[in-house]
Amino acid sequence: MTSGSPAPTTKPGCGICAIIDRIKAGSFRDFIAELNSCYVILGDQQLYRGYCVLLAKIHATELYLMPADSSRLLFDEMRLVADAIAAVVKPWKMNYECLGNSEPHVHWHLLPRYETDEMRRGPIWLRPESERKVILDENDRRALIGSIRIQLAARFHDARIPPG
């Protein structure tokens, strides 16, 4: 990582900070890449193939509470991550959501949407969670993560991307 990257901070009791600690320990199987401001993980709702989540390295409960330079870097990285995902899955539309109601730690949901989805014009949260939580078979999951990693490596030359 570059010397200008924000200092990572975690907060005890935060679910997202706990995921970040697992990523750092090498025990989070859906970790895709580490960028200067965030970690990219594969989301657990692969009904929206290519769904990823960006976890801010800085523990902040609101985007406006982050240092301005850090929030701008996160936004720039989010834009390029979305471009990388789109290069792999070719969505009809990409949705971006930063909610934090359940997990008060800045994180972005990047949700590819497809024309074949009869609910494509509404928010994904209207669909029951049981329908959204599609689990990919292991080979498909690895192939999808690998394809996204290739696209990220082309856009982020200083990204930390694990082998395999």
* pLDDT for the residue numbered 11: 80
Q: Which of 136, 103, 99 is nearest to 19 (CA)?
A: 103
* pLDDT for the residue numbered 12: 77
On whether residue 9 sits in a domain, the answer given is: no
Residues 6 or more apart from 134 whose CB is under 8 A from it?
Answer: 45, 46, 47
* pLDDT for the residue numbered 9: 62
On whether residue 75 sits in a domain, the answer given is: yes
On whether residue 7 sits in a domain, the answer given is: no
pLDDT tens track for 106-145: 999 999 999 999 988 888 889 999 999 999 999 999 999 9
Would you say residue 6 has pLDDT above 50? no
Would you say residue 2 has pLDDT above 50? no
On whether residue 160 sits in a domain, the answer given is: no
Nearest-5° Cα angle at 5, 58 to 70: 50
Would you say residue 4 has pLDDT above 90? no
pLDDT tens track for 67-83: 999 999 999 999 999 99
On whether residue 4 sits in a domain, the answer given is: no
Number of folded domains in the chain?
1
Give one word for 131, left, alpha or beta, with left for phi > 0 and alpha for psi -120 to 50.
alpha
On whether residue 103 sits in a domain, the answer given is: yes
Amino acid code (one letter) for 83: D
Q: How far apart are CA 97 and CA 100, in angstroms?
A: 9
On whether residue 1 sits in a domain, the answer given is: no
Mean per-residue pLDDT, 15-28: 96
On whether residue 143 sits in a domain, the answer given is: yes
* pLDDT for the residue numbered 72: 97
Would you say residue 1 has pLDDT above 50? no
pTM of the model: 0.91
Would you say residue 27 has pLDDT above 90? yes
* Percent of residues, the chain, with pLDDT higher than 70: 94
Nearest-5° Cα angle at 154, 145 to 21: 50
Boundaries of domain holding 91: 15-155
What confidence category does residue 44 fall into, taking pLDDT thresholds of 50, 70 and 90? very high
CATH of the domain at 119: 3.30.428.10
